[in-house]
Structure 1
Amino acid sequence: MIAGGLSNREIAEELFIAHSTVRWYIRQIYNKLGAEDRDHAIVIAGQLGLHMQDESSDEDTLTRTIKNLPTQLNDFVGREQELRDLFAYAHNPNIRLISIIAPGGMGKSRLAIALAEYIGANATNTNQENDQLFHDGIYFIDLTSIEDQVEFIIPTIAEGLDYRFQQDGRDLKQQLLQYLQSKNLLLILDNFEHLLDKATIVSDILEYAPNIQIIVTSRERLRLTFETVYNIVGMTFQDNRITEAFLESDAASLFLQSARRIKSDFEFDPHEMYSLWRICGLVGGMPLGIILAASWVDTLSLGEIADEIVRSIDFLSSNVRDIPQRQKSIRAVFQNTWQRLSEPEQNILMKLSVFRGGYTREASEKIAGASFPILQSFISKSLIWHDKQHRYRMHNLLRQFAEHQLLTVGDIEITQQAHCGYFGEKLSGLRSQLRGREQLSALDSIEQDIENIRAGWYHAVKQEAIDLIEDYLKSLYYFFSMRSRINEGIELFSFAITSLTETSVTSNKRPLLGRVLARQGSLVHRLGHYEQAKQLLETALNVLEKAEAKDEVAFILNNLADVTCSLGDYNKAVQLIEEGLAIFQQLEDEWSIASTLNNLSVGFYRIGDLNQAEATCKRSLVISKRLDDQHGVATSLVNLGAFAHDLGKLDEAKYYYQASLNICEKLHDRHGIAAALTNLGRTSYMQREYEEGKDYCEESLSLCRNLGDLWGTTAALINLGDNVCRLGELQLARQYFRDAMQTAQNIEAYPLMVEILVSMLELLVIEEKYEKACKLLTSIPYSTFKDVETDNRIENIKLTLKEKLPGTLIAHREPFELPPIDTIIEQVFTL
């Protein structure tokens, strides 16, 4: 059994005797043979004829190669990249000490075991140069048992190597080093973090034994010269979106494996995909967290498991009897680490728990008092890490643990207040940059800290800290608008509106409430909810007119004009815009003047004054360029493209649209990207480049649907239908027009409904259904169409119908004699 490579413990299990009994027998064998260790004993036994060396199969070689490896009852899941990396390190002669570093519960030990198995399984597949690599074995030594007896590290390593100390006057360390001096082996030392004061034994072994390589698992770096640090983090999963591929991720696979072990008939319900994704995210991909979460599948749904994790990390615990106490709960894992920190370190780590989604060195110092050396110390202890964006991050479960400690000592309120104030000051300082030449960097800066900013906003609102909310409000609105994160903005502003109106709206709260309502109305309009937007804006106007807040009144008038224009009352829209423009001119607010001129140009366009529209838009463009307001430039360019389009300057229109698209892509403005794509699709249609137009519109449609932009979705569907219609896909075109009509009906966008009717008319003419086309034409009011392209389309249809149906009266409705919406929709769905 000794020659077969079995460890003392494995022999004990094989013979059903005590481990101590095996050790006694082996000492007797060494004494009888005069041997120093196992290998020496095997050689002497062979020389005496007591043991015959048989030719070994590859499997026997593998058995002899790996010693003391704990038996694993479950298959190893995932970590393929980590295994490949570590395997390469293990075969690199220049890397002799590898430290696998991670917080508790991250699967360091399991990865080390899998690595040992992987190296053993691939021992015969290495090149000739590495044939002798680790020919004396791979030894796995668990150091957990000597947590309170660090002086036993040398005897524990010796025992793991099956080396028996000699009573010859040499000290234990000297004997161990001399024994290892000629060995060629891989030594895996598991759970080293509590023995850091004795880490020099690792250096001594590496210096004394040139053919030994050591892999250490630890929660903290050893800080040795030879050390190559390999940090591991949570298991992979798609943390920004959910697709079917998510189920193949390491984290999801481990959860499903663990769930089936707990509940043999467990079957994953695809409807719980989001809940599983939440669980993996909440535990940050931590293997122990995933396993503990899965242990509840026999009593709770996945959604309930996720909710419980949010409620408390104490939910992540197990009553299984045969696992170490330190692994029975997430709290136990972190408690062990917590107790090793000094009091000042604990105070700083607690305060760092207020951050969400990472933080900068400056923020950590100002809010938590964390100096650079402290941050570096926390990194070495696997408490935080430094990412590729040069931001510090803490694992979410550890953050929850530390936050609970902060709550326990009673410092959470003052720390949250400092956090809220810091990010409020940051947003206030970025306000001017968002309207000028540093726009992109300001947007990126907010995006990096959006989770912290969101937390700060909620804290300020809950405290009804009016000045702090004001610090956040305008910059947040610009960010959500320019980055097309409309739903997020609506959620945050809705929370504020609800909170501010739950108690009595005092005179000092009223202006703030009006400002929040105004920005909520603006964002709601962007999604196509026009009546709701109108109501919010009118309420805000009523509040702020009384407060004599001129700039806010002008802002509201501008946004009310947007809504009015979307509902088809173009003359009223122009009137509102001109009122707002006059106020901004009085206030000499150039940025707002440029924005309002842009809106005014659209108003002129809608009432059919193309020359005035183009001139007004160019005035806006000049101001935006002078301010270096790229968002404003992009908006002007897309509008100039529309005007050039209707003037028949299609190449010029395409140039403007492409220029706008380039800027919007740089700014990550998805609404702007979608608008440019839809317009490019329209221009391609007019140039008879239907395949190209189809591609543009399909991309725009996907974007608009993801954004929840109903107006944009409808416009993309109309233009997509027009392009595929010309490609001969008539039924598909009809379906796109019907889908567009349904969406337009939902948002009561009458101008878009009329555009759909014109497109349906062209489809009927192509299908040679002239009588139906005549009937549909009577539903379209002439006065609604003031843009050149639509007028031309209708006139061409009328000419075709007169040619195909001579003697038939070809006409459409008189101005404003519109049939009920339901009547029009019914016609479209029956064509």
Structure 2
Amino acid sequence: MTNSEFKLLLKEGIDSVANRQGKKVSIVEEEIGEALCVSPHTVQRWKRGYVPNDLQRLEFLTAYCQQHGRVDRTWGRRFLIQGGFPAPEAVLDRLFPAPSAQPSERDVPRVFHNLPPRYGEFIGREAEVSRVLEWVETSRWPLASIEGMGGIGKTSLAIEVAHRCLPGPNLTIAHPFDAVVWTSARDYPDFNLRLDHVLDTIARVLDYPHLAQLPPEQKVGAVDKLLRSHRTLLLADNLETVTDLALVKFLEQIPEPSLALVTTRYKQLRRVWDIPLYGLKDAEILTLIRRHSHRIGLEVVAGADDDTLQRLAAATGNNPKAVELSLGLIKQKGLPFHTVVDELYRASQMVSEVFDYIFAEAWKLLDDETRQVLLAMSLFVSSASRAALAAVSKVAEFDYFKAIEQLVGMSLLEASEALDLSQQRYWLHPLTQIFARHQLGVDLSLHLLRNNGGASPQKIAELKTNFCNFFAAWSEKKAGRGFWDFAAWNADQYAEIHQELPNLLIAIEWAYAHKNWGQVLALAKAIVHPVYYQGHPDKRIKCSEYALTAAKMLGAKEDEVWFLVHGLGSIYLLRGDYDTTETYLSQGIQLAKEIDLREAIALGHTYRAYKALQLDEELTAAQHNVEIALSSTQDPLFRHRALQAAGHIARYIHDYEQAKAYYLESIQCLAGSPYRDPSSEVWLGFADLGLGQHEQAVKHFRTYLDVHGKYGNHRVAAMAKLGLALFYEAHGQPAQAANFAHEAFDLLAPMNAQWELRQVRELLGRLAV
């Protein structure tokens, strides 16, 4: 049973973290899930009102939102009470202490950081922590490197040390940093962190987001100045997968007084303060073995004496992740503990990496069907739904269920919590993904290995075909067969499609490469709208070009028209490339006339109206195109769009009464139709702002951002922020106006939305910021 009050409070808390740290909500959800050892889907389930049945998790969520977001004691009390937390005052007193009358020596301004949270006790590693902190305090080297094999705990150590460099009760250095910036190769599909990613993150965390929009050569200089004026600890996780030499050079030359700390499996940097990381100490690894054994139900192991467990620890090199995988192996084999430990111990004497043995032994335990499921899972860029993994692996239902149970039990496959198993999703730990892709015969970027010792090329092709077949059919089912079916999507449909976008994008690449034109069209119709809404016009252009080729090859003239006019014409219009815009619009309108597709004729002339307006041509040209559009069709969706254009033209000449009338008429067009367009809220806000109805205008802007901010159109969201900026400018609050203007700029710049950016720049010029 869901709790609506808990749902609203948790959403408020997580949103406050996202806003304060400049992160996407989905990234915050992933960080919470990782800290609590649950999937992001479990966190999303809590956000739907399902209260965690673990008081420790409730306390963590409260602490996380307090430390990383902007929530107060009142919020904390309501949240804990709604979560069923008994006697919450003790927790509240600790997390929200009353301000002291006298400031303490440790009271300092808030530090800027985007660190992942810590959860639970950090076990051991005090010698290594001391070595890192010694480097921080002495600063004899600008760069330090935590080095060790996979699973040894490099990331945990880096996060722990970074938290000890922040102001607060955990501070263990004399002079805390002004900012701590966390970056990780794991945040990118190809595991390849690049210099541009790092520069953008530094700019965002230090609250200079507009620097991210600078050209590369200017951006490096601007961020360099920031690092000189703000003492910053920059962390780069998983450096061993990085191929960008410019990033390596940047880290090696980080300017004083800032420092850089990296984690890597290999010693790969010169002039670096190195912190080699080995296995946990004996007492620490025994504690870990017992805790994990309890967790997976190996009570016999948990209760074994120290000497017995020490042999398991020695066989795994006291590696934390290796211990967890080994215990899963012991449980799966069903053999006596001593037998398996002896086998593991003997093998560990003959291989340099204990994971080689663990994964090899795990692979031996899998039957052909279970191996097929693991290989299929390695193709997914993001997580996989239960249905998708079943369709790609193509094993019998009974064998599939058995395979899932075995892989999860062996810690080879991670699974989300779900009451309904059909809603369960799966993903691979990075170490397992590397192993599985190697077994398949592909690298981290899913390219064929030169010396392929894995599956046959035919097997790889078969799995990729299954992958494309599933997602093409899924796209038709979820997004619809028609190009404009998306206009009737609701928030849940957007969320579902957004979740699968990484998989859809790789599916269309494979389908296009193999000239499966029907699949290309189906996938493009699901991809082309949400990638634009989320601010990725380059992906929109690429998918539209693929779809245009497919439509021509199939003789699908209606689809060809829509991808010419809307898929490509509207994007080049957004970018201010008016010659290319007209090329696509002309081709699309001409073909639309040949097949009598009047809705496309209307839309094409609507875009021509916008082009005339943006080029500052005679307004009669813009108005004439709107008249052609309105006379071309009675379809409510396309009349709605033409009337919105009419409203924009009226607003451009400051006729706000007429603009509002057009916007209201455009909304009325959609009444009774399956279509929806929440952008009308924003345009009504601008009309009300022009009419001096400021409170009503702000209500419109905030409604769009509150209701549609997550899956709405980034361009429209930016214009809502611009509207709020104009409101604050009119009310003599330039600081607030500048904040919203910069937020609008940050949304528009990646899209290269020239017309809208010009309006934001004009405001920033008036504000002189």
TM score, norm. by length of structure 2: 0.51
Listed one character per residue, the Cα deviations across residues 506-548 of structure 1 (whole Å, up to 9, x for unaligned) are 5726655443333122123223333332323223333443344
Say yes or no: does 1:239 pair with 2:187.
yes
Deviation at 1:624, TM superposition (A): 4.3
Listed one character per residue, the Cα deviations across residues 486-523 of structure 1 (whole Å, up to 9, x for unaligned) are 232223334555x669xxx6572665544333312212
Select which of 512, 516, 519 maps to 2:563. Answer: 516
For 2:630, give the aligned amino acid: L
Correspondence 1:262-273 to 2 at 5 A: 268-270=248-250
CA contact (8 A) 1:571 1:607 kept: no
Correspondence 1:31-110 to 2 at 5 A: 84=121, 107-108=150-151
Deviation at 1:330, TM superposition (A): 8.8
Residue of structure 2 in register with 1:73 after alignment: none
Select which of 455, 465, 479 maps to 2:530. Answer: 479
Say yes or no: does 1:461 pair with 2:461.
no
Residue of structure 2 in register with 1:403 after alignment: 440
Q: Secondary structure at the match of 1:449?
A: helix
Residue of structure 1 in register with 2:660 after alignment: 614
Query: Structure 1 residues 538 and 247, CA, compared in 2 at 3 Å: closer, same or farther?
Result: farther
Say yes or no: does 1:715 pair with 2:759.
yes
Q: Secondary structure at the match of 2:732?
A: coil
Residue of structure 2 in register with 1:672 after alignment: 716
Say yes or no: does 1:541 pair with 2:592.
no
Residue of structure 2 in register with 1:578 after alignment: 627
CA distance in 2: counterparts of 1:273 and 1:577, whole angstroms? 56
Deviation at 1:619, TM superposition (A): 1.9
Listed one character per residue, the Cα deviations across residues 591-618 of structure 1 (whole Å, up to 9, x for unaligned) are 3333332223223434665444322210
Structure 2 regions of 5+ residues with no counterpart? Answer: 1-114, 126-147, 162-182, 189-196, 206-231, 255-261, 272-347, 419-423, 442-452
CA contact (8 A) 1:554 1:580 kept: yes
CA distance in 2: counterparts of 1:369 and 1:296, whole angstroms? 45
CA distance in 2: counterparts of 1:677 and 1:709, whole angstroms? 15
Select which of 373, 376, 381 maps to 1:351. Answer: 376
CA contact (8 A) 1:361 1:372 kept: no
For 1:385, give the aligned amino acid: E
Select which of 646, 652, 655 maps to 1:600. Answer: 646
Listed one character per residue, the Cα deviations across residues 83-115 of structure 1 (whole Å, up to 9, x for unaligned) are 935579xxxxxxxxxxxxxxxx9745679x99x
Query: Structure 1 residues 612 and 110, CA, compared in 2 at 3 Å: closer, same or farther?
Result: closer
CA contact (8 A) 1:325 1:332 kept: no
CA distance in 2: counterparts of 1:80 and 1:470, whole angstroms? 42
CA contact (8 A) 1:367 1:415 kept: yes
CA distance in 1: counterparts of 2:412 and 2:597, whole angstroms? 49
Query: Structure 1 residues 402 and 440, CA, compared in 2 at 3 Å: closer, same or farther?
Result: farther
Correspondence 1:372-521 to 2 at 5 A: 372-387=401-416, 390-394=424-428, 395=430, 396-404=433-441, 408=456, 410-431=458-479, 435=486, 438-494=489-545, 508=555, 512-518=559-565, 519-521=567-569
Residue of structure 2 in register with 1:220 after alignment: none
Deviation at 1:636, TM superposition (A): 1.4
Query: Structure 1 residues 616 and 254, CA, compared in 2 at 3 Å: closer, same or farther?
Result: closer
Query: Structure 1 residues 330 and 526, CA, compared in 2 at 3 Å: closer, same or farther?
Result: farther
Correspondence 1:141-160 to 2 at 5 A: none
CA distance in 2: counterparts of 1:688 and 1:448, whole angstroms? 42
Deviation at 1:553, TM superposition (A): 3.4
Superposition RMSD on alpha carbons, in Å? 4.5
CA contact (8 A) 1:528 1:709 kept: yes
Query: Structure 1 residues 343 and 507, CA, compared in 2 at 3 Å: closer, same or farther?
Result: closer
Query: Structure 1 residues 251 and 481, CA, compared in 2 at 3 Å: closer, same or farther?
Result: closer
For 1:535, give the aligned amino acid: T
Listed one character per residue, the Cα deviations across residues 429-464 of structure 1 (whole Å, up to 9, x for unaligned) are 333696567521111111111111001211222233
Query: Structure 1 residues 464 and 236, CA, compared in 2 at 3 Å: closer, same or farther?
Result: closer
Select which of 357, 360, 369 maps to 2:394. Answer: 369
CA distance in 2: counterparts of 1:357 and 1:691, whole angstroms? 40
Query: Structure 1 residues 596 and 413, CA, compared in 2 at 3 Å: closer, same or farther?
Result: farther
Listed one character per residue, the Cα deviations across residues 109-141 of structure 1 (whole Å, up to 9, x for unaligned) are 679x99xxx9xxxxxxxxxxxxxxxxxxxxxxx
Correspondence 1:800-815 to 2 at 5 A: none
CA distance in 2: counterparts of 1:665 and 1:273, whole angstroms? 39
CA distance in 2: counterparts of 1:445 and 1:273, whole angstroms? 43
Query: Structure 1 residues 271 and 541, CA, compared in 2 at 3 Å: closer, same or farther?
Result: farther
CA distance in 2: counterparts of 1:267 and 1:659, whole angstroms? 41
Q: Which moved more, 1:600-609 or 1:78-87?
A: 78-87
Correspondence 1:743-762 to 2 at 5 A: none
Q: Secondary structure at the match of 1:712?
A: helix
Residue of structure 2 in register with 1:564 after alignment: 612
Q: What is the number of equivalent residue pairs in this alignment? A: 460
CA contact (8 A) 1:641 1:654 kept: yes
CA contact (8 A) 1:434 1:443 kept: no
Correspondence 1:646-685 to 2 at 5 A: 646-685=690-729
For 1:401, give the aligned amino acid: H
Deviation at 1:685, TM superposition (A): 2.5
Residue of structure 2 in register with 1:251 after alignment: 237
With a CA cutoff of 8 Å and minimum separation of 6, indicate the structure with the bigger relative contact order: 2
Deviation at 1:269, TM superposition (A): 0.7
Say yes or no: does 1:291 pair with 2:316.
no
Structure 1 regions of 5+ residues with no counterpart? Answer: 1-77, 89-104, 119-234, 260-265, 275-284, 299-322, 725-732, 737-831
Correspondence 1:766-785 to 2 at 5 A: none
CA contact (8 A) 2:570 2:607 kept: yes
Q: Secondary structure at the match of 2:456?
A: helix
CA distance in 1: counterparts of 2:544 and 2:252, whole angstroms? 29
Deviation at 1:420, TM superposition (A): 1.6
Q: Secondary structure at the match of 1:84?
A: coil
CA distance in 1: counterparts of 2:471 and 2:536, whole angstroms? 19
CA distance in 1: counterparts of 2:353 and 2:407, whole angstroms? 24
Residue of structure 1 in register with 2:86 after alignment: none
CA contact (8 A) 2:501 2:527 kept: no
CA contact (8 A) 1:664 1:672 kept: no
CA contact (8 A) 1:466 1:509 kept: no
Query: Structure 1 residues 345 and 296, CA, compared in 2 at 3 Å: closer, same or farther?
Result: farther
Deviation at 1:681, TM superposition (A): 1.8
CA distance in 1: counterparts of 2:378 and 2:249, whole angstroms? 34
CA distance in 1: counterparts of 2:564 and 2:392, whole angstroms? 31
CA contact (8 A) 1:604 1:613 kept: yes
CA contact (8 A) 1:642 1:679 kept: yes
Deviation at 1:559, TM superposition (A): 2.7
TM score, norm. by length of structure 1: 0.48
CA distance in 2: counterparts of 1:436 and 1:380, whole angstroms? 43
